[in-house]
């Protein structure tokens, strides 16, 4: 009997299974039995308290100190201290410093005992240049929340696969409004959801109905992020196993044919076969070139690809390169319930 | 490696479009030229089809046309009219049972890399990475690329040279040749069509990609172990490259050199395989010798 069969047989007789993660009252991180196929126990960093320190670093694209200031001010107003990494303000073409500089800054933060969380200032491109050179083992002894999305999907996926570390998929410094008082309500709510995710608050999501949703109930760890990035990790040591999990995807700037090709890639690598559920966030599609009109929407593309399966599917989830990009606790167990008249998604 | 029989005068070449739509007039010169070469041409239903969208037909229609060409005992080679996108959607549904009993040359590049890789990996069968129907237009029928297809079909072993490039890494290697479009090779990672590049000569080309995405795809190949144990690397054209508003800061050649800097196999740049008239026919799966030296680079079958 192989490991997967063994575990699934345990699950069916109720011996093992996902255990609910709860905000940790003891201030030591939670280690709970792992869900389904993952051999590593789920590492949930301690939720943040007043006075805790968050590091800000630039592991991918570059950003200036001025550009992160609104985020610094707001996060400090929440009662957290900020430690700014030396990649803020650095620039090596599109990167926030050379590979060595970006790796060194993030590595310092991974080791820094004062930090409870590390916020990536922005995405862009560059995480994959340094991920293999980083030593993430300090997170085993002292887990920290790693925060970001888009290109940062590299780290969220890598940490899920290699450490089973929970992390936060959310907006980053470059999405904080210059003037908080003038922020649109949805933008403010999305940013405040980062605080909720960090402090162990109850995560609430308002998911619109879509006629192509597929009803059903799913329970499992949440994995996912930027689709193009997830695809670029296939076959690498940062690749995610999606079995028994709820997968969420979003993307920006991709052609429709490319989105279709990526969903085929997911399918052909078996990533849809044993999925618990699929959450489709925002897709900002690159317009077709003239004469190359693709003729199918993202909804159609997804609906077609998931036809052979029966897991629940919801569309237009508030995650993506958009204002309504709400924080998600990656790696943590969630439930997704899609009904004809409602979509419920909870961190359990 | 199963090498399909080379063509004889009077043999039949089927022209099909398993991916994007192609109007008949775009393939006309190709059809006439193949006839002048002494071949009979059979036109599949997916060339100049009734399709009104991006594809040359529904998945079912494209699959049926390609399947018919693969299975038809009277067809000796299958030329894909064009690439685009679409083979990924039908590759797992193709039945190669009859093809394996009577292997034939599959011809094309770009999206057709899906078929080449699949044939190499699943059926150890050689295929022809080469110009397609559009390359015959506008005087293309007498270019080196198209003429090299003619020679390849007739069974003439190839010997190509390309100019010395300052980024070349010297060395000599003899190994089976694999490769194709970089985006497609990255797209096949982890799938049943994925190529094992261990001990192979790998060639790469691409079109219309952003430099950062070129970098990302090469790193995917590297991180999935595909670059560590190559016999050699042949870099073709990366044409119509795009850059971000803020420049990436490295050329395609510099990106490749950086990614493979820790290995010591020969690397050549500027090889004539690309989305341009510089695109010679390469026999995928067949052993070649690559010689990168102070003289022009040689790739000899």
State the Cα–Cα distance between residues A40 and A18, nearest whole angstrom: 12
**Domain B12-153 architecture:** 3-Layer(aba) Sandwich (3.40)
Determine whether B205 is an active site residue: yes
The reported pLDDT for the residue numbered A51 is 97
Which CATH number does the domain housing residue A164 bear? 3.40.50.10740
Of A19 and A110, which is predicted with more confidence?
Answer: A110
State the Cα–Cα distance between residues B154 and B4, nearest whole angstrom: 12
Specify whether A60 is located in the same domain as A118. yes
Is residue B212 within 8 Å of B229, Cβ to Cβ? Answer: no
Interface confidence (ipTM) of the complex: 0.94
Q: Tell me how close the Cα of A244 comes to any Cα of chain B, in angstroms.
A: 19
Of B54, B224, B244, the CB nearest to A295: B54
Of B54, B92, B248, the CB nearest to A93: B248
Give the phi and the psi of residue A8 in degrees, each rounded to 5.
-70, -30
With residues binned 3-state (H G I as helix, E B as strand, rest as coil), the percentages for chain A, rounded to 5, are 30, 25, 45
Domain boundary among A139, A172, A199: A199
C-alpha to C-alpha distances, A81 to A51, A84, A115, A172, nearest whole angstrom: 6, 10, 9, 16
Chain B CB contacts of A257 under 8 Å are 54, 84-85
Of A94, A231, A265, the CB nearest to B246: A94
Asked whether residue A46 is domain-assigned, the answer is: no
Of A94, A128, A269, the CB nearest to B219: A128
pLDDT greater than 90 at residue A27 = no
Specify whether A172 is located in the same domain as A259. no
Judge whether B40 is closer than 8 Å to chain A, CB to CB.
no
Range of the domain at A60: 53-199
Is residue B298 within 8 Å of B163, Cβ to Cβ? Answer: no
Specify whether A190 is located in the same domain as A228. no
Specify whether A191 is located in the same domain as A287. no
Taking an 8 Å cut-off on Cβ atoms, the answer to whether A268 and B88 are in contact is yes
C-alpha to C-alpha distances, A122 to A103, A217, B36, B66, nearest whole angstrom: 15, 34, 59, 46
Give the mean pLDDT of B10-35: 97
Specify the range with the lowest mean pLDDT, choosing from A16-30, B22-36, B216-230, B258-272.
Answer: A16-30
Considering its fold, how many domains does chain A have in total? 2
Q: Please indicate, yes or no, whether the overall pTM of this predicted structure exceeds 0.90.
A: yes
Taking an 8 Å cut-off on Cβ atoms, the answer to whether A234 and B189 are in contact is yes
State the Cα–Cα distance between residues A176 and B242, nearest whole angstrom: 29
Q: For A294-341, write each residue's pLDDT tens digit.
A: 989 999 999 999 999 999 999 999 999 999 999 999 999 999 999 999
Q: Which of B118, B184, B187, B215 to mutate to test the interface with A (most CBs of A within 10 A)?
A: B187
Q: For B217-266, write each residue's pLDDT tens digit.
A: 999 999 999 999 999 999 999 999 999 888 999 999 999 999 999 999 99
Look at residues B42, B85, B92, B93 and name the one whose alpha carbon lies nearest to residue B64. Answer: B93
Asked whether residue A341 is domain-assigned, the answer is: yes
Determine whether B116 is an active site residue: no
Determine whether B51 is an active site residue: no
Give the mean pLDDT of A13-33: 41
The length of chain A in residues reads 348
Is residue A276 within 8 Å of A245, Cβ to Cβ? Answer: yes
Taking an 8 Å cut-off on Cβ atoms, the answer to whether B246 and A257 are in contact is no
Over pLDDT 90: what percentage of chain B? 98
Asked whether residue A97 is domain-assigned, the answer is: yes
Does domain B159-300 match CATH 3.50.30.60?
Answer: yes
Asked whether residue A287 is domain-assigned, the answer is: yes
Which CATH number does the domain housing residue A284 bear? 3.50.30.60
pLDDT bracket for residue A176 (50, 70, 90) = very high
Q: What number of other Cβ atoms are within 10 A of residue B301's Cβ?
A: 15
Is residue A155 within 8 Å of A131, Cβ to Cβ? Answer: yes
Judge whether A261 is closer than 8 Å to chain B, CB to CB.
yes
| Angle A35-A332-A334 from CA coordinates, rounded to 5° | 85
Mean pLDDT score across all residues of chain B? 97
Specify whether A87 is located in the same domain as A113. yes
Specify whether A261 is located in the same domain as A343. yes
Mean pLDDT score across all residues of chain A? 91
Q: For A269-284, write each residue's pLDDT tens digit.
A: 999 999 999 999 999 9
Judge whether B192 is closer than 8 Å to chain A, CB to CB.
yes
Taking an 8 Å cut-off on Cβ atoms, the answer to whether B248 and A295 are in contact is no
Asked whether residue A85 is domain-assigned, the answer is: yes
pLDDT bracket for residue A37 (50, 70, 90) = low
């Amino acid at each position: 009997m192989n490991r997967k069969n063994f575990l699934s047989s345990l699950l069916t007789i109720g011996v093992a299974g996902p255990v609910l993660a709860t905000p940790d009252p003891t201030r030591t991180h939670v280690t709970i039995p792992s869900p389904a196929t993952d051999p590593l126990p789920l590492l949930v960093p301690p939720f943040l308290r007043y006075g805790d320190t968050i590091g800000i670093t630039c592991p991918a694209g570059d950003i200036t100190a001025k550009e992160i200031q609104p985020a610094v001010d707001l996060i400090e107003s929440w009662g957290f201290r900020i430690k700014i990494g030396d990649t803020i303000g650095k620039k090596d073409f599109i990167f926030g410093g050379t590979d060595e500089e970006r790796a060194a800054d993030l590595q310092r933060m991974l080791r820094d005992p004062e930090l409870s969380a590390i916020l990536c200032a922005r995405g862009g491109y560059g995480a994959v240049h340094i991920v293999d050179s980083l030593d993430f083992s300090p997170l085993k002894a002292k887990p920290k929340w790693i925060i970001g999305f888009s290109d940062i999907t590299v780290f969220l996926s890598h940490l899920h696969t290699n450490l089973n570390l929970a992390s936060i998929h959310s907006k980053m410094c470059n999405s904080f409004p210059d003037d908080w008082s003038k922020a649109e309500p949805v933008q403010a709510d999305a940013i405040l959801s980062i605080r909720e995710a960090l402090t162990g608050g109850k995560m609430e999501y308002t998911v619109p109905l879509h006629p192509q949703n597929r009803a059903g109930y799913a329970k499992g760890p949440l994995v996912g992020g930027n689709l193009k990035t997830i695809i670029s990790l296939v076959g690498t040591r940062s690749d995610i196993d999606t079995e028994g999990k709820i997968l969420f995807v979003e993307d920006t700037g991709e052609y429709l044919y490319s989105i279709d090709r990526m969903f085929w890639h997911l399918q052909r690598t078996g990533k849809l076969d044993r999925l618990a559920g699929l959450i489709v966030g925002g897709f900002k599609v690159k317009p077709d070139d003239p004469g190359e009109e693709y003729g199918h929407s993202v909804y159609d593309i997804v609906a077609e690809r998931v036809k052979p399966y029966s897991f629940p599917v919801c569309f237009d989830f508030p995650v993506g390169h958009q204002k309504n990009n709400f924080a998600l606790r990656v790696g943590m167990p969630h439930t997704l319930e899609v009904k004809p008249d409602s979509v419920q998604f909870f961190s359990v | 490696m199963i090498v399909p029989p080379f063509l004889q005068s009077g043999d039949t070449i089927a022209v099909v479009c398993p991916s994007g739509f192609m109007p008949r007039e775009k393939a006309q010169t190709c059809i006439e030229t193949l006839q002048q070469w002494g071949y009979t041409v059979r036109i599949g239903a997916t060339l100049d089809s009734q399709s009104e969208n991006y594809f040359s037909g529904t998945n079912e229609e494209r699959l049926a046309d390609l399947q018919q060409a693969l299975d038809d005992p009277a067809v000796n080679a299958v030329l894909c009219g064009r690439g685009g996108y679409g083979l990924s959607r039908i590759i797992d549904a193709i039945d190669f049972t009859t093809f394996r009993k009577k292997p034939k040359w599959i011809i094309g590049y770009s999206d057709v890399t899906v078929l080449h890789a699949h044939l190499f990996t699943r059926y150890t069968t050689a295929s022809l990475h080469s110009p397609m129907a559009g390359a015959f237009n506008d005087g293309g029928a007498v270019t080196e690329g198209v003429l090299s297809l003619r020679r390849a079909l007739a069974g003439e072993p190839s010997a190509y040279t390309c100019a010395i490039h300052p980024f070349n890494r010297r060395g000599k290697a003899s190994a089976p040749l694999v490769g194709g479009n970089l985006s497609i090779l990255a797209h096949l990672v982890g799938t049943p069509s994925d190529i094992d590049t261990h001990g192979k000569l790998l060639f790469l080309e691409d079109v219309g990609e952003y430099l950062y995405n070129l970098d990302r795809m090469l790193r995917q190949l590297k991180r999935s172990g595909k670059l560590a144990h190559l016999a050699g690397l042949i870099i073709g054209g990366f044409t119509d490259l795009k850059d971000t508003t803020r420049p990436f800061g490295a050329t395609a050649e510099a990106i490749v050199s950086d990614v493979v800097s820790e290995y010591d196999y020969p690397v050549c740049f500027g090889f004539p395989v690309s989305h341009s008239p510089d695109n010679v026919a390469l026999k995928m799966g067949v052993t070649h010798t690559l010689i990168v030296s102070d003289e022009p680079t040689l790739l000899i079958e």
